[in-house]
Amino acid sequence: MAITLDAPIRPAEPADPAESAGRGPSGGRRSTRTGADRARAARGIRSFLRQPTLVLAVAVLALVVLWAVAPTWFTSWDPIEGVARDRLQPPSAEHLFGTDNLGRDLFARVVHGSATSLAATSVAVVVGLTVGSVFGLLAGFLRGFVDDVIMRFMDVLLAVPSLLLSLALITALGFGTINVAIAVGLASVASFSRVMRAEVLQVATSVYVEAARVSGVRWYTILARHVLPNASGPVVALAALEFGVMVLAISSLSFLGFGAPPPTPEWGSLVSGGRDYLAVAWWLTTLPGLVIVAVVLSANRISRALERNGGTR
């Protein structure tokens, strides 16, 4: 009698829960992911609306950005040419922020000056974020001698007050809005570098990074694909915080006369120009100063929200 040996029956492997959850009767994983993304977005919007201070901060920054992009939407007055008979008028329906000693509408000068101030601040943030992140990334990933050299240099930068360091760099670069922005950005490199290095040191010991090293992936590919995306969250939150700090720093340097030359409107120079008229025209310094304070506080509030949520991590 012939005996036939049947092939052993292999037990069915359990299905991937994520895969089985993504399958539906009408079309795969995409619809489920889309629904989950929509639910997550709806929860995020509800959480955002339940924080009135955060909503106000975003609204303030959005308004200032609109001032910079389309100033003629908010005022029809010329920020450069004044009317002599309208000089030193207090705030009114016609002149929301009053007029200066040359009869120029102060609200128009604040609105048009937002483009210069925000552009300078954006340049400073980009310079500080880019240079500092590169140094921190290399120091935290390569370690050893490279880490020691970079971090001792950053310690030297941190030992010098940022405003004094900015003044020294402006002396070397020259006056002007762009030079002021570059100087302020370079003065903040140490802060970005230290935060990035701390995050890279944490991410570099992760299992997936070690697996990529063992599998022979080149170090710069590991940096670009694994380390940088997972270490950038707190750095983005710091960039939001530094945005407010840099608005204040650039306004301070403009107040001292290192920014755009007159009659170009700039927030710091507007505050400086009203110092001689404090007794008779308080609005010349108070109202532009309140705009600066509102922008700085709004940037700080957004930074706290990003830090609480882990940035973009």
What would the pLDDT profile of 145-178 be if each residue is shown by its tens digit? 888 898 899 988 888 888 888 888 888 887 888 8
pLDDT over 90 for what percent of the chain?
16
pLDDT over 70 for what percent of the chain?
84
pLDDT at 29: 55
Q: How far is CA 119 from the centre of its chain?
A: 12
Q: Which of 301, 245, 307 is nearest to 52 (CA)?
A: 301
pLDDT at 241: 83
What would the pLDDT profile of 28-56 be if each residue is shown by its tens digit? 555 566 777 677 677 667 776 777 888 89
Domain chopping of the chain, boundaries: 117-261
Write 269-276 long-range contacts (CB < 8 A, 24+): 269/113, 270/106, 270/109, 270/110, 270/113, 273/100, 273/101, 274/100
For range 9-19, the mean pLDDT: 43
Q: Kindly report the CA angle at 15 between 12 and 16, in degrees rounded to 5?
A: 150
Q: Kindly report the CA angle at 297 between 191 and 59, in degrees rounded to 5?
A: 120
pLDDT at 62: 92
Can you give the pTM of this predicted structure? Answer: 0.78
What would the pLDDT profile of 198-245 be if each residue is shown by its tens digit? 888 888 777 777 777 777 777 777 777 777 777 787 888 888 888 888
Residue 168 or residue 309, greater confidence? 168
Residue 156 or residue 9, greater confidence? 156
pLDDT at 15: 44
pLDDT surpasses 60 at 14: no
pLDDT at 110: 92
Q: Looking at 2-16, 208-222, 273-287, 297-311, which range is the least confident one?
A: 2-16
pLDDT surpasses 70 at 23: no
pLDDT surpasses 60 at 310: no
Q: Which of 25, 53, 106, 58 is nearest to 273 (CA)?
A: 106
Residue 94 or residue 44, greater confidence? 94
The CATH code of the domain at 117-261 is 1.10.3720.10
pLDDT at 11: 45
Task: Give the Cβ contact number of residue 58 at 10 Å.
Answer: 16
Residue 262 or residue 293, greater confidence? 293
